[in-house]
Amino acid sequence: MADATIILGIETSCDETSCALVAEGRRVLSNVVASQIDLHARFGGVVPEVASRAHIEAINAVLDSALKASGVRPDQIAAVAVTNEPGLIGSLLVGLMAAKTLAWVWDVPLVGVNHVYAHAYSPALDAEPIDYPAAALICSGGHTALYRCTGPTELELIGTTIDDAAGEAFDKVAHILQVGYPGGPVIDRLATGGNPQAVAFPRSFLRGPGAPGLDFSFSGLKTAVLYHVNGTPGLKRQARAVAGAGAGKGAAYLTKQELADVAASFQAAVVDVLISKLRRAAKVTGARTLILGGGVSANSALRQAAGELAEKCRCTLRMPQLCYCVDNAAQTAGLAWHYLRSGRTADLDLEAFATVRR
Ligand code: KG4
Ligand code: ZN
């Protein structure tokens, strides 16, 4: 007899294979995540073919572990939820096929979930329900976006990146600094010993006349870090005296302190822009709540700055626990509960989409 509240979630949109069991949309019974970081580290980023192959190899074992860890029997599961957009198409398809098979075999509804919306729901996991209306800032390796949220399933995109995602910028800057992959956690750690004002990296605010200015751009910042560290093409090592002894020659020439200073200054530039846009989004949406989500929401400087912003604009700040910042199936299953309750289930011909449909 199915316990009407337990949902199995499956997430394979990028480089984490994850299965989770969640009751009543918020109580996480198990959340198993198999990371592929080691496979992609030597490439400095996710290689799509490698990712989809690794999902195929991992999915059965991850499903098994999630079921065992939760103590839930298949006949207690009310629905199977799966991330079907956006993401790497080959990776999404692995999770989607697994989900369809289980929904068919167990004869339960299938629910398709948008991965970015699931990140916006993640602060509700093992926590109180989110109070709406809210302004959500979702930043990860693949996305940087602002949403006006009037409920867990009602999200309107109000700003997005026109080039790199924030997490992608962290990963690329870590590559320039030769400090490892994924870059976010390493830069976060390095930055704690650095001076955020040491290097005046640019902030792109994209404020045009009449434009709401809620879009993001991080490619200029990334290039500024590249030129600062490796030197500006066509120019002699002119600015070294100002920029620091090791600047302009390559990461290997930076002292430990210079490395920390570059990390802290880069991170400060990203956080400044993200927080400034979130402040504007809160105003535009009349939000009562600020939501952070996605891998970059684990960033300590961003979390602190968001706390200060929430206090200033008298909003409640909702951030996911650190274990729910990066990709996980608990957020997929949690959000699916709201779709299931409103009857929005999918047929077995549900498709995967690499980009978000508008
Ligand atoms: O949400 P996520 O797991 O995957 C996508 O949906 O893309 O986010 C992964 C991203 C990576 O770019 C990683 O460098 C970044 O999140 N990240 C961080 C931190 N932890 C992970 N960025 C900044 N600071 C962190 N502490
Ligand atoms: Zn994600």
- Nearest ligand 1 atom to alpha carbon 140: 8
Q: Which of 279, 297, 318 is nearest to 131 (CA)?
A: 318
How confident is the model over 39-78, as pLDDT tens digits? 988 887 889 999 999 999 999 999 999 999 999 999 999 9
Mean pLDDT to the nearest integer, 292-297: 98
Lowest mean pLDDT among 86-100, 155-169, 210-224, 236-250: 236-250
Q: Are strands 16-23 and 27-35 parallel, antiparallel or unpaired?
A: antiparallel
Cα 163 from Cα 107, distance rounded (Å):
42
- Partnered with residue 6 across adjacent β-strands are 23
- Nearest ligand 1 atom to alpha carbon 182: 14
Give the model's pLDDT for residue 245.
60
Give the model's pLDDT for residue 243.
56
Query: Rg of the Cα trace of the chain?
Result: 21
Q: Is 184 in the pocket of ligand 1 (CB under 6 A)?
A: yes
Q: How many CB atoms lie within 10 A of CB 37?
A: 13
Query: Token pair of 96, please?
Result: 């989607």
Q: Is 145 helix (H, G, I), strand (E, B) or coil?
A: strand
**In order of start, what are the domains of the chain with their CATH numbers?**
6-126+324-341 (3.30.420.40), 134-320 (3.30.420.40)
Give residue 357 CA to ligand 1 midpoint distance, Å.
Answer: 23
How confident is the model over 81-140, as pLDDT tens digits? 999 999 999 999 999 999 999 999 999 999 999 999 999 999 999 999 999 999 999 999
Q: How many CB atoms lie within 10 A of CB 152?
A: 21
Q: pTM for the full model? A: 0.94
The amino acid present at 38, given as its one-letter code, is D
Residue that the structure tokens 């990963």 belong to: 171
How confident is the model over 242-272, as pLDDT tens digits? 556 667 789 999 999 999 999 999 999 999 9
Query: Token pair of 231, please?
Result: 């030197």
Residue 282: Cβ-neighbour burial (10 angstroms; 0-12, 13-18, 19+): buried
Give residue 257 CA to ligand 2 midpoint distance, Å.
Answer: 32
- Nearest ligand 1 atom to alpha carbon 294: 1
Contact status, residue 152 vs residue 130, Cβ threshold 8 Å: yes
Pocket test for ligand 1, best of 85, 122, 140, 274 (most atoms within 8 A of CB): 140
Lowest mean pLDDT among 30-34, 37-41, 83-87, 276-280: 37-41
Cα 140 from Cα 120, distance rounded (Å):
11
Give residue 293 CA to ligand 2 midpoint distance, Å.
Answer: 9
